[in-house]
Structure 1
Amino acid sequence: MKSTKTMKATKSTMSTKKSRFLAAAALTVAVLGTGIAQASPGNDITAETTAEGHFVTPQSFKVRAADHVVEQTLRIQPGGATGWHVHPGVVVLTVQKGTIIRYSADGNREVFPQGSSFIKTGNLPLNGVNESSEEIELHLTYILPKGAPLRYERPAPSWWNERKAN
């Protein structure tokens, strides 16, 4: 059993902690409230969302020494393809219209329907293909190192050439 002196000290400590917490909470509310009250709405601006998508799985990535950003809309006709390539930086891609099939040089095949987004990085060559009967529209954001091109061309893997021959 705690002594009366210990219980008083504990109550005093708890009271002090509670007071500090309430003071911190009040200060936070006051600061945030002031910030909100001082905010001003924009005027004479237009914002247009040209594409919006969601990653199939949450994504994390790092970009080193990036100093260049390029926005691009890519349209691929039925039966068309991007060709085998890699990107020197990071590319965030959103499928605005249609479904794109992404083949990797290791033989992997991924399907990205309208409204989906994905990231392209690394040295594994990829080829985006429109296997549908309608045009695909893609919105890409390239985040690039200084002086880098948007992409580097790569030869098709042997299995791809064999597939195309059959």
Structure 2
Amino acid sequence: MALLPGAAAATPGEGVTAETLATGTSAGGLDLTTRGATDVTMRVITVEPGGSTGWHYHPGRLLAIVASGTLTRTLDDCTVEVSSAGETVLEPAGARHVHIGRNLGTEPVVLYATYFVPEGSPLAVDAEDPGCDTAR
């Protein structure tokens, strides 16, 4: 879930807040996508009704549990995945996995997310819309 400043061509997020619950670093790679030390960050992310993360990707994997609401994600190939309360979301690492998360419902989406990124990497990187029509 992107909450970091990005390039001018990136699509900004809106209506998203995040609270970091815990952070740590593992000396050995915890995630198959990283070599060496891995930063682990746990956050609570809230997407208000009508809110959006903006297009972004993660340098490492993200595992999230939808605690409430319904999260609608559009992926880099323009497919749409919908995750409701009690479901998990696994987002792969890398710039080829851009996506946007939106709350199209009437109640806040609350996610408990754990990020596994290479040591010193940002949690997310803003990206350009790959050409999907997310206004529908």
- Same fold, judged at TM 0.5 (above): yes
Deviation, 1:64, is: 2.0
Q: 1:133 aligns with which of 106, 109, 119?
A: 106
Give the aligned partner of residue 88 of structure 1.
59
Give the aligned partner of residue 149 of structure 1.
122
Deviation, 1:156, is: 1.3
Deviation, 1:144, is: 1.0
Q: % of aligned pairs identical?
A: 30
Deviation, 1:67, is: 2.0
- Stretches of structure 2 that go unaligned for 5 or more consecutive residues are 1-20, 22-30
After superposition, the C-alpha distances for 1:114-154 in whole angstroms (9 at most, x for unaligned) are: 00002111322100110001111001000110111001100
- Stretches of structure 1 that go unaligned for 5 or more consecutive residues are 1-49, 51-60
- For the aligned residue pairs, the C-alpha RMSD in angstroms reads 1.8
Give the aligned partner of residue 75 of structure 1.
46
The TM-score with structure 1 as length reference comes to 0.58
3-state DSSP of counterpart to 1:79: strand
Q: Using CA pairs under 8 Å that are at least 6 residues apart, name the structure with larger relative contact order, 1 or 2.
A: 2
Greater share of residues in helix: 1
3-state DSSP of counterpart to 2:132: helix
**Count of aligned residue pairs for this structure pair:** 104
Greater share of residues in strand: 2
